[in-house]
Amino acid sequence: MSTQIPQQETESETEPEAESTEGTAQDRRLERKRAAEAERQQRSEAAASEDEDRITLKVFRYDPEVEAKQEPRFDDFQIPFEQGMTVLDALMYARDHYDSSLTFRHSCRQAVCGSDALFINGSQRLGCQTQVADLDTPVRVEPLPHQEVEKDLVVDMEHFYDQMHAVEPYFQGDTPDDEEQRQSRENREKIKMSTRCIWCGACQSSCNIAAGDNQYLGPAAINKAYRFAMDEREEEDLKKHRMDILEQEHGVWRCQTQFSCTDVCPKDIPLTEHIQEMKREAVKDNLKFW
């Protein structure tokens, strides 16, 4: 008898332990299952969020040296959006992750060099200055209009540079190098905005007159002439020479005051105002009282 009682006690003691062990294992399995489901849900939400944070970039493509790319077209790129992303950032992502042959100009990325002027959503803008968040999607990027396309978003700027150099955009004269040329604060303020030009070509591209008249100096060149002609340090005979350049048939009188150049200037230069002032100077230059 005495040998059976401990046996019963042992059985009654071990049964709850087995149930407890089994319950703990079941709980662990449920926890692992719930964790796996939560992880899958999290991945699914992240993927959905990633899809929502992507923007479509429609980029003009053209390559005259590759037969399959000689016909202009648009390529779409899905770009993961980040706060603060510029159009230039999006283009660089497309080039670095999707197509290394995508060609465009850029340099300083600080709206100083003027090399990344593009036609973005129907307007001339600097790629490095234009926030993707401020644009409607898809973001459409094209080369500057009215200029010959060399490849993709790169245009030939030689004619634009020729027009800029035509107004002789530099000081001239016989003033000794060691002689200081003083300028008043008032005169500096007058020409200050004109000195901001970064030679990006956006204004020239937006000008309908420049599009139809290849010899028109254009708003950028006239603004550059304004910068020197209105500088009080310029000698009178040199100012007269500069005005002769502006008064030619394809000079200031071709401007029709459409303000398109002023609207697209990334440095907010009042180009149309400067052109009109050069017209007034031209009139005064030709007035004679006798």
Q: What is the largest CA-CA distance in the chain?
A: 150
What topology is assigned to 158-175+182-286 in CATH?
Answer: Fumarate Reductase Iron-sulfur Protein; Chain B, domain 2 (1.10.1060)
Segments of the chain assigned to CATH 3.10.20.30: 52-155
pLDDT of amino acid 49: 52
pLDDT of amino acid 10: 44
pLDDT of amino acid 176: 67
Q: Tell me the whole-structure pTM to 2 decimals.
A: 0.77
Segments of the chain assigned to CATH 1.10.1060.10: 158-175+182-286
pLDDT of amino acid 184: 93
pLDDT of amino acid 11: 45
CA neighbours closer than 13 Å in the CB half-sphere of residue 230: 25
pLDDT tens figures, 60-75: 999 999 888 899 999 9
**Distance between CA atoms of residues 24 and 85, nearest Å:** 51
pLDDT of amino acid 247: 92
Q: 81 with 54: CB under 8 angstroms?
A: yes
Residue 198, token pair as written in the block: 């970064």
Number of Cβ atoms within 10 Å of the Cβ of 166: 18
What topology is assigned to 52-155 in CATH?
Answer: Ubiquitin-like (UB roll) (3.10.20)
pLDDT of amino acid 46: 57
Q: What is the mean pLDDT of each run of 10 residues along the chain (290 residues)?
A: 45 48 68 77 58 87 91 95 95 96 94 96 96 94 96 96 94 71 92 96 96 94 95 88 92 94 96 95 76
